């Protein structure tokens, strides 16, 4: 049976989050910065929205250069808030994960799922699933994403990249080569500037020309492993499975109905989130040594607290009680109201099946 893979890409993720939480900056160039702290403008651009990209501002350039490119334009420069972005990413990954048992997070803003066994090769059904994912992400987090659907991870990713932002592109096997072949070879995932330059010396400009190039020629110039990749991927072939990488933490986060310091409300939320986290621990047969909380405040600042135990646990009560104590202590020290509540567990070990005395506490 032909595989069917969905690739989900959260469009201009960092900048989109900032845009949603401060509507006054919408329709302006948004530049997310990683400041070095040496001078006011020292550091690099982490990412931008699409408006800023029109003026040549892109990831990796200096903040000083970005300000020069946007001189005279309406623009805002914002320090990256990685804790906030990670917390929202975790929430969205949990949404995507629900739609298939074969899930792989590729980065903070990209993931893919294999839905082959769910749809039985029906790409219309795949489209329905993609729309449901897009709608749920929009409803829960007010964020847009682009989705690509194809017979493997490579084609699904290229499909998503081809129609952004907020796109949905479907490439069944019959449409893969017509989609790939006319494109410049630098559009192929994995072809960077050096590879592109070398391919040009071989008079290879399009993906079709690469697909038709003799494999021995490619091996001579790129080595056996990378030559095989170029040969197969240029024809749309990719056998790499969708598989979840080992997790370093499991967490859930929830947006409260209104900003609050009422511990009764927060306590109920912690219990619900803890049960979700515990279920994921059970499914993956993991124990944990550390429990952490995340509090996103009314001004969007992010605060975190953790507690680490000497031995591993697999108890729901320990997750709930530890999280509640951490939040209660935090509330006693913080004057601002809380907008989002998050919990996580980490420092994992595989569950040996032995119940520890402390797990009854």
Closest CA to 240 of 167, 163, 156: 156
**Pairing label, strands 102-107, 110-114:** antiparallel
Long-range pairs, 102-106, Cβ under 8 A, ≥24: 102/241, 102/242, 102/243, 102/244, 103/242, 103/244, 104/153, 104/242, 104/243, 104/244, 104/245, 105/244, 105/245
Closest CA to 163 of 149, 182, 152, 147: 147
User: Exactly one of 110, 240, 244, 271 is catalytic; which is it?
Assistant: 110
- CA–CA dist 175, 150 (Å, integer): 9
Question: Angle, nearest 10°, between helix axes 193-201 and 215-222?
Answer: 130
Could you confirm whether 283 is annotated as catalytic? no
- CA–CA dist 309, 26 (Å, integer): 44
Q: What is the DSSP letter of 329?
A: H
Q: What is the DSSP letter of 40?
A: T
| Token pair recorded at residue 183 | 């494109």
CB of 128 within 8 A of CB of 169? no
Closest CA to 279 of 325, 314, 322: 314
Closest CA to 331 of 270, 251, 275, 271: 270
Tell me the catalytic residues.
110
């Amino acid at each position: 049976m032909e595989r069917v893979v969905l690739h989900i890409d959260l469009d201009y993720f960092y900048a989109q989050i900032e845009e949603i939480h401060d509507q006054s900056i919408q329709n302006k160039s948004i530049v997310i910065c990683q400041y070095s702290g040496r001078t006011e403008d020292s550091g690099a651009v982490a990412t931008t929205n699409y408006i800023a990209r029109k003026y040549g501002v892109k990831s990796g350039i200096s903040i000083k250069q970005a300000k020069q490119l946007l001189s005279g334009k309406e623009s805002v420069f914002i320090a990256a808030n990685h804790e906030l972005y990670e917390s929202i990413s975790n929430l969205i990954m949990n949404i995507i994960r629900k739609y298939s048992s074969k899930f792989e997070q590729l980065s903070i803003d990209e993931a893919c799922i294999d839905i082959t066994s769910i749809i039985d090769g029906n790409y219309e059904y795949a489209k329905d699933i993609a729309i449901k994912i897009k709608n749920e992400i929009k409803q829960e987090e007010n964020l847009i994403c682009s989705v690509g659907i194809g017979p493997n991870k490579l084609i699904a990713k290229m499909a998503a990249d081809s129609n952004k932002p907020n796109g949905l592109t479907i490439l069944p096997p019959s449409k893969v080569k017509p989609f790939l072949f006319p494109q410049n070879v630098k559009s192929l995932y994995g072809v960077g500037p050096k590879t592109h330059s070398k391919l040009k010396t071989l008079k290879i400009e399009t993906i079709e020309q690469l697909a038709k190039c003799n494999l021995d020629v490619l091996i001579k110039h790129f080595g056996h492993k990378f030559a095989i990749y170029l040969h197969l991927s240029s024809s749309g072939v990719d056998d790499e499975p969708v598989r979840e990488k080992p997790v370093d933490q499991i967490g859930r986060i929830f947006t409260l109905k209104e900003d609050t310091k009422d511990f009764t409300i927060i306590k109920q939320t912690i219990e619900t989130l803890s049960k979700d986290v515990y279920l994921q621990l059970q499914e993956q047969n993991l124990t944990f040594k550390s429990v952490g909380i995340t509090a996103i405040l009314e001004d969007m600042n992010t605060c975190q607290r953790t507690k680490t135990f000497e031995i591993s646990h697999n108890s729901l009560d320990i997750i709930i009680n530890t999280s509640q104590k951490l939040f209660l202590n935090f509330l006693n020290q913080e004057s601002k109201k809380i907008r989002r509540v998050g919990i996580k567990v980490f420092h994992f070990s595989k569950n040996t099946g032995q119940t520890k005395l402390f797990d009854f506490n």
